[in-house]
Amino acid sequence: MTKKRYVLVGSGGRAEFFYGALATDFKETSELTAFCDINQTRMNYANRILTEKYSYNAVNTYKSDEFDRMIEVEKPDAVIVTSMDRTHHTYIIRALELGCDVVTEKPMTVDAKKCQEILDAVERTGRNVRVTFNYRYAPHHTKARELIASGAIGKVTSVHFEWLLNTQHGADYFRRWHRNKGNSGGLLVHKSTHHFDLVNFWIDSQPESVFAFGDLLFYGRENAEQRGETKFYERATGNPIAENDPFALHLDKNDHLKSMYLDAEHEDGYRRDQSVFGDGINIEDTMGVLVRYKNNAIMTYSLNAYLPWEGYRIAFNGTKGRIEMNIVEQSYVNSGGKKSDEGALKDKSIKVFPMFGAPYEVDVEEGVGGHGGGDPVLLNDLFGTPVEDKWNRAANHIDGARSILTGIAANRSIQTGQAVQIDDLVHFYKK
Residue 151 has pLDDT above 70, yes or no: yes
Residue range 106-117: mean pLDDT, rounded: 98
pLDDT of residue 46: 98
**pLDDT tens track for 216-239:** 999 999 999 999 999 999 999 999
Residue 337 has pLDDT above 60, yes or no: no
> Rounded to an integer, what distance in angstroms lies between the CA atom of residue 311 and that of residue 332?
12
Cα Rg for the chain, rounded, in angstroms? 21
Nearest CA among 40, 43, 31, 121 for reference residue 76: 31
> Rounded to an integer, what distance in angstroms lies between the CA atom of residue 348 and that of residue 330?
12
Q: How many CB atoms lie within 10 A of CB 408?
A: 29
Sign of CA dihedral 94, 96, 102, 104: positive
Coil vs helix vs strand at 94: helix
Coil vs helix vs strand at 426: coil
Indicate the pairing of strand 207-215 with strand 286-293. antiparallel
Determine contact, residues 3/74, Cβ cutoff 8 Å.
no
Nearest CA among 127, 25, 128 for reference residue 395: 128
Residue 335 has pLDDT above 80, yes or no: no
**pLDDT tens track for 301-333:** 999 999 999 999 999 999 999 999 999 988 767
Coil vs helix vs strand at 185: coil
Residue range 190-195: mean pLDDT, rounded: 97
- pTM for the complete prediction? 0.95
Sign of CA dihedral 133, 139, 144, 148: positive
Determine contact, residues 336/257, Cβ cutoff 8 Å.
yes
> Rounded to an integer, what distance in angstroms lies between the CA atom of residue 385 and that of residue 233?
50
**pLDDT tens track for 42-93:** 999 999 999 999 999 999 999 999 999 999 999 999 999 999 999 999 999 9
Sign of CA dihedral 8, 91, 303, 235: positive
Q: Where are the extended beta strands (E) located within 120-230?
A: 129-131, 156-166, 207-215
Cis geometry, peptide bond prior to residue 354 (ω within 30 degrees of 0): no
Cα distance from N-terminal residue to C-terminal residue, the chain: 32
**pLDDT tens track for 345-383:** 788 999 999 999 999 999 987 766 776 788 999 999 999
Express as a percent the part of the chain with pLDDT over 90.
Answer: 90
> Rounded to an integer, what distance in angstroms lies between the CA atom of residue 73 and that of residue 105?
24
